[in-house]
Amino acid sequence: MPRIAAKLPRRRRRLCADEDRLGDLPDDLLLDILRRLDTRTALGAAALSRRWASLPREVPVLDLKVSDILPPRYHRCFRLSEDARDSKISSTLSDRRLLEAITARYERRAMRSMVCSLKSLLASQARRRVERLSLEVFAYSTSACINRLVVDAVDSWGVRDLEVVATPTGPLTRLEPSAYSFPLGLISRKPGESRLRSLKLANCLPPPLRGFNALTTLVLRDLPVPTPAAAYEEAVAACPQLQVLHILSCEIKITARRVVLDAPKSEIRELVLGGELVSVEIRSLPKLESLASQEATVLLCSAAAAPCLAHVSLAFSVGRLEGGGLAGLNRSYRDFLIQRLVQFFQGAITVKDLVLRFTGPEMWIMPENPFSAMANLRRLLVADVPSSWDASWPRLLIETAPLLESLYVHVSHSEGEPRQEVPGETSASRHYHLKELVVIGFQRTERQMRLVRFTVEVSTALRRVALLKQGRVEDKGSCCDWEVVSQQSAWCDEERLAVLDGIGCSTGQIEVVLS
């Protein structure tokens, strides 16, 4: 069949001046494109076409950061300034001052640019529906438009999740930072009508929170030393419906007393604390279920202070104890910490799930055993045990927890050798509920074998022993929510026999997993 060539008419290649191909796209597709862009680009997309002009009002998340405006040269100068201050590079005083002046100028320009953008955003008076607003400013800013944006977002836009980060800037404020305070002194004119459910503040003094009936999550972090304890107490008292409270890396005023949480009507179920200078006394949190503390000391006045407390995670580290100088301060801190732990466990009798991360170059929990009888403890994780410690020390906990069912011990690898050991080898009493022992980082050392042998001897209900050469413990976000991630390792027959003989059990009685 002969090939017939049809001559097609030539199409116009030049677009008409008024043709709007972006405008032909459906709204759902345009909104999907905007959601994949950063906030500055999404807001600027309104200039692309007539159809795009109103779409940014529908973007559910606004992420406005002053750091996004800073040029790359600022970050190079900032790193050089920090290195010069820390004597990592040779520099003169005039060089350091010049670098600090350059970075300060860039910061002022970026802040002015951001303020202009926020004024334009407020001037548009567009009706928006925003679910989450994240705002980052420099802590020295006193512009009222920043506060007005927050007020409009809470009152008019229906924001549910609000985060405000005030970044310290300049050499003096980084050494002696001051907290950011909202210029208008509030974040809403109609708190009772707001939909705000989550408020996260970094280096920001909490505004008045009374009347925010929907607020269930409050996160306060990076507040500097001058912050009084009353600032935290007032926030808790103003929001009895709070369910989650985090106080992280905050430094309470040295002359102030500890933060006292005495709220018999409080709904707080999760409390997370972090920072060496954070000290909290719990007098009444009747619905508290989970407590996590990293370097923050916690005092339970009595078991009735938190009768529902079931999940606890504690992490503390003490520096070198031998010698003079700082070692003397470390010994004083060790004694203070042991005293606080003794008082805490005397009141934490309802705990069922416990995570302990006690670290340091020397084993500081001995010679005094800080653990009282934990009559309800079911699951225990002892994580990040330094190899310079006696790895068998968790057996102190076996003796104080008669209902314990699962014990996990994770040994970290380091160069140190054990110097101090837990006295005693066996116990006259028997344990009738422990069913599972898992040791992660098992290297068949004498102390590790002692822990396994002790557990096998005293546990009449033991059914499973897992010894993992390689592995780690990963946190899954919430308190006491973790999982063991193991890596397969080879065991030769000689190692298997040595372990089975050393721990004094056969595979017929107990399932022994070597991985």
pLDDT at residue 5, rounded to an integer: 43
pLDDT at residue 424, rounded to an integer: 60
Question: What Rg value do the Cα atoms of the chain yield, rounded?
Answer: 30
Q: How many C-beta atoms lie closer than 10 Å to residue 441's C-beta?
A: 21
- For residue 81, CA distances in Å to 77, 108, 174 come to 6, 17, 12
pLDDT at residue 446, rounded to an integer: 87
pLDDT at residue 428, rounded to an integer: 56
Residue 407: strand, helix, or coil: strand
Cβ(177)–Cβ(139) below 8 Å? yes
pLDDT at residue 161, rounded to an integer: 96
pLDDT at residue 31, rounded to an integer: 61
Per domain, the residue ranges of the chain are: 27-57
Distance CA 65, CA 497 (A): 60
Q: What is the pLDDT along the chain (515 residues), one digit of tens a residue?
A: 444 444 444 444 444 445 556 556 666 666 666 665 655 665 555 555 555 555 555 667 888 888 888 888 888 888 887 777 666 555 566 777 888 888 889 889 989 988 888 887 787 766 778 889 999 999 888 888 999 999 999 999 999 999 999 988 765 445 556 788 898 999 999 999 999 999 999 999 899 999 999 999 999 998 876 678 888 899 999 999 999 999 998 876 555 568 999 999 999 999 999 987 788 999 999 999 999 999 998 999 888 999 999 999 999 999 988 887 788 888 898 998 999 999 999 999 999 999 999 999 888 987 677 888 889 999 999 999 998 888 889 988 888 899 999 999 999 876 555 666 776 655 557 889 999 999 999 988 888 998 999 999 899 999 999 999 998 899 887 777 899 988 888 888 888 888 888 787 655 678 888 88
pLDDT at residue 53, rounded to an integer: 55
- List, in sequence order, the alpha helices (H) in 193-285: 229-238
Q: How many C-beta atoms lie closer than 10 Å to residue 402's C-beta?
A: 17
pLDDT at residue 93, rounded to an integer: 66
Residue 185: strand, helix, or coil: coil
Which is it for strands 259-262 and 244-248: parallel, antiparallel or unpaired?
unpaired
Picking from 35, 56, 231, the residue whose alpha carbon sits closest to that of residue 128 is 56
Tokens at residue 421, please? Answer: 């050991």
Q: How many C-beta atoms lie closer than 10 Å to residue 206's C-beta?
A: 22
